[in-house]
């Protein structure tokens, strides 16, 4: 099942698996927000699409 996260900056991140979502969100957080996103936080924010 695909999952999405709507980042407060307006970016929508979508992935087909938890692992992919965590990877994409961590990359986005590092590159755009200079933050480290924890796996548990990413999954807590995720919504099924």
Strands (E), 1-49: 3-6, 12-15, 47-48
Q: Which is nearer to Zn ion, 11 or 17 (CB)?
A: 11
Residue with tokens 């992935």: 15
CB of 28 to Zn ion, least distance (A): 6
CA distance 49 to 6: 11
Q: Please report, as residue ranges, which positions from 1 to 49 form the binding site for Zn ion (by CB under 5 A).
A: 7, 9, 11, 32
CB of 1 to Zn ion, least distance (A): 23
Contact residues for Zn ion, defined by CB under 5 A: 7, 9, 11, 32
């Amino acid at each position: 099942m695909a999952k999405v996260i709507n980042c407060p900056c307006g970016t929508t991140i979508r992935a087909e698996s938890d692992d992919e979502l965590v990877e994409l969100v961590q990359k986005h957080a590092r590159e755009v927000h200079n933050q480290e996103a924890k796996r548990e936080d990413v999954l807590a924010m995720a919504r099924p699409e």
